Amino acid sequence: MSSASVCTQCGSNNIQLDPHFCLEQQICTDCGFVLEEGSFQNDPTRAFQSQQSQIALPLKYRQHNNFREHVSKARRDGALRVEEISAMLRVTSDVMVEEAKTLFTQAFNLKVLNKAKREKKRVLPGCVVYIVCRQHDWPILLSDMWDLLQCRDSVFYSVYKVILAELDITITVPEIETVVPSVIQKCGFTFDLSDEQMKAVTQIVCLAKNTWITCGRRYDPIIIASVFLVWKAEDYAKRKKTSIPKFCRQIKFGTQVLPMVRSRVQEFEGLFLKLVSEIPWVETGQIDKKNIVCYLSDILRYEKTLLAGKYGDSDLESDDEERELQEKILPPSMTNRKPKSDVRDTDSMTSKVSVAVSYSTELDENDIPDSELHKYIRSTKEVMMVEDAQKSAQEYEEENPLKRKDSSSSRKTRKRKISDVENTP
Amino acid sequence: MDGTPFRQDQPQGQVRPGFQVQPQFGVTYTTQLPPSQFLPPPPPAAEPMLQTMPTSELQNQPVSGSLVPDMTTVRTQMHYQPGQQQQDKANSQNKSQEHSQPSSGLTPGFSNTPGVPHSHSHSSSGGTSSLYPATPAPMTPMTPATPAEGSGIVPQLQNIVSTVNLGCKLDLKKIALHARNAEYNPKRFAAVIMRIRDPRTTALIFSSGKMVCTGAKSEDQSRLAARKYARVVQKLGFPCKFLDFKIQNMVGSCDVKFPIRLEGLVLTHAQFSSYEPELFPGLIYRMVKPRIVLLIFVSGKVVLTGAKVREEIYEAFETIYPILKGFRKTS
């Protein structure tokens, strides 16, 4: 539609474009004369063009729907979810929220996640928020996220790994001492920890880090075990009989982490016993795992000196390997070696014996001797017995039809077959 | 069987065709041997250990490849049988080739190594007598070369997964009915699960005639077990063959005997490592060359998986060992 500059009726220059409903018109504002009106066919401003059809969509429709930047409902909801999760984690920085939204858009457009199950798409906003928090060095753990999102750890981790791999992002695990306050707050203990106690807990956690206890382990049980020892040491006379399960009951997820907390406490007590033996004014004869917490303050005060005495040449190729394992500070998995009692160890000898194997495509008697072959094939009598048992089982099922419990057969309609032929040697 | 650099059950004969290993890798083998003073003297006579090929064909096979794994460790642990002298003579040609190899120190990094050509697929097609064993023969013991900077640790194979095509359709119900040690529950899984005791393995047999064999500790054991399963199925009345046997995956493990700082390793090798203690206690190291996945634990145990041939496992371990040594101390 060519734009006219002068009204042909009154000669005025005041020409305006008026989007009259869905059709543009050039109108003189002085006399109201319609100079020119747009055409659906000749309208150059088309947001949607197809080779088949020359009809342009009306302007209002295009403006309202914004075809060029159409956003799907899932993406809109995901962006809102990012904001909600950020609010739950108290992410006050707008920059971080915007980064999370941008990352969500990038992750949402990944082909791998586009075809993923709904369960994975639901955890995508949480993954994105976690990545942004870690990029800004927030002391947040993966377990915090899947507790918050109420999702499975495997699902969350699978989506998380896909995002890191596809978008080439590197995220490091936070240091354990940085997450101590957040974990203690998450546990919700019935008592408050003073500054000195918090400092002692952090010191124990750092000691655990230097003595291999934290390597490859979850952080929560280690921190809870440290709090237990500090709490017990504060008033040993009253609290010496408090058991670990009783202590863990006050934690929201205490029952889940109880076994790990118990083993961490035992490892701490073993470590403290090793270190306290280096203190000259302590008589080690009367110290055991129960009252070792009484010497916690001394151990933490002289930690570096005590560790220097225990750490030496960690070469384990000496003859007295067992003594090394007991005296030196090593990862618990190295010191708690159990004797292997696997049945397969007896087969390790057979792997040393030479094996005669044929490379032919035809099978013959040399592949397996007849004496061994007969062990794996049923006799005629056995086959008849099994067939009789199957028939009687089938008749019983037909007389007493049971409801199917397995979900795998709920979609497909198959005939019920007696197929549970389980044989044990 | 610690410290044995290669299989005991290798067929006798020549080195696998096309098996050309770089000198560094060849030196790796020699450095894995114990010192010579611990080696017993060679036995006077021994029988052929394996009878995979006629002797005439063994002698006619060309000696290719530059690597001949050293036999000194084998001598300490092999069960020699009379007739071994014949094999020693057959392999004596290899000695001259071995000595010509440079015995320089092992370069810690394998980045310049083009890599071992892995043309070790076992060709099962063709005639009986024309088949060439795809595995190298047990080598003649020789004086070990000057020990270079090697780990001295040899990963042990723990599991081998292989597949084979039996070449005919199978009635799984009939197999489950007539075979002992067989499980079949189509509601749970559409295959018969069969087990044998020697070698201790498990097989998944599908109605299409394809079979998966798991649990063997060596390549030949896996092939032997697969043949046993195929023979059992053949005895049940099916026209089975043994086509396209292929090893799909090999798993090895070893112990470096010192603790490893996983947090330090993930910081320096972030592009290859994945360490999430919340999920798994080990560090997952995805090596690019060779394409092996390693599970590294704080206790020093290392699991290597994803290999098609055992040399990939050895190469991967020799590549990772100097890296792990760097994270041995706490400070």
Do residues B243 and B286 share a domain? Answer: no
Residue A121 has pLDDT above 90, yes or no: no
In-domain check, residue B44 = no
List all residues 6 or more positions away from A222 whose beta carbon is below 8 Å from its beta carbon.
Answer: A176, A205, A208, A213, A214, A264
In-domain check, residue B295 = yes
DSSP state letter for A58: P
For the segment A224-240, what is each residue's pLDDT rounded down to a tens digit?
999 999 999 988 888 88
Indicate yes or no: CB of B200 within 8 angstroms of CB of A347: yes
| Residue A100 to residue A205: CA distance in whole angstroms | 32
Q: What is the pLDDT of residue A340?
A: 60
In-domain check, residue B65 = no
Do residues B196 and B178 share a domain? Answer: yes
Indicate yes or no: CB of A351 within 8 angstroms of CB of B281: no
- Å between A214 CA and nearest CA of chain B: 9
In-domain check, residue B168 = yes
Average pLDDT, chain B: 70
Of B181, B232, B243, the CB nearest to A361: B243
In-domain check, residue B142 = no
Percent of the residues in chain B that have a pLDDT greater than 70, as a whole number: 54
Do residues B210 and B275 share a domain? Answer: no
Of B194, B224, B240, the CB nearest to A355: B224
Q: What is the pLDDT of residue B43?
A: 54
Closest chain B residue to A154 measured between Cα atoms?
A: B279
For the segment B258-303, what is each residue's pLDDT rounded down to a tens digit?
999 998 899 899 889 999 898 899 999 999 999 999 999 999 999 9
Residue A100 has pLDDT above 60, yes or no: yes
Q: For chain B, how many structural domains are there in total?
A: 2
Residue B22 has pLDDT above 90, yes or no: no
In-domain check, residue B185 = yes
Indicate yes or no: CB of B181 within 8 angstroms of CB of A425: yes
Indicate yes or no: CB of A356 within 8 angstroms of CB of B300: no
Residue A190, both tokens: 């019935």
List beta partners, residue B289: none
Coil, strand or helix: which one is B261? Answer: coil
Q: What is the pLDDT of residue A288?
A: 82
Q: What is the pLDDT of residue B147?
A: 41
Last residue of a domain, one of B177, B212, B247: B247
Q: Which of B211, B253, B299 to mutate to test the interface with A (most CBs of A within 10 A)?
A: B299
In-domain check, residue B118 = no
Do residues B180 and B210 share a domain? Answer: yes
Q: What is the pLDDT of residue A32?
A: 86
Of B232, B261, B330, the CB nearest to A377: B232
Do residues B243 and B226 share a domain? Answer: yes
Do residues B278 and B206 share a domain? Answer: no
Q: Which residue has the tokens 């360490």?
A: B275
Indicate yes or no: CB of B227 within 8 angstroms of CB of A357: yes
Indicate yes or no: CB of B270 within 8 angstroms of CB of A367: no
Last residue of a domain, one of B227, B247, B267: B247
Last residue of a domain, one of B247, B278, B297: B247
Do residues B243 and B262 share a domain? Answer: no
List beta partners, residue A24: A19
In-domain check, residue B66 = no
Do residues B314 and B264 share a domain? Answer: yes
For the segment B149-189, what is each residue's pLDDT rounded down to a tens digit?
677 899 999 999 999 999 999 999 999 999 998 999 999 99
Structural domain span for residue B172: 162-247
Do residues B169 and B211 share a domain? Answer: yes
CATH of the domain at B172: 3.30.310.10
- pTM for the structure as a whole: 0.67
Do residues B281 and B221 share a domain? Answer: no
Closest chain B residue to A307 measured between Cα atoms?
A: B330
Indicate yes or no: CB of A367 within 8 angstroms of CB of B217: no
A-chain residues within 8 Å CB-CB of B178? 377-378, 383
Question: How would you write B14-46 as a 3-class SS string?
Answer: CCCCCCCCCHHHHHHHHHCCCCHHHCCCCCCCC
Indicate yes or no: CB of A363 within 8 angstroms of CB of B262: no
Q: What is the pLDDT of residue A324?
A: 56
Q: What is the pLDDT of residue A41?
A: 58
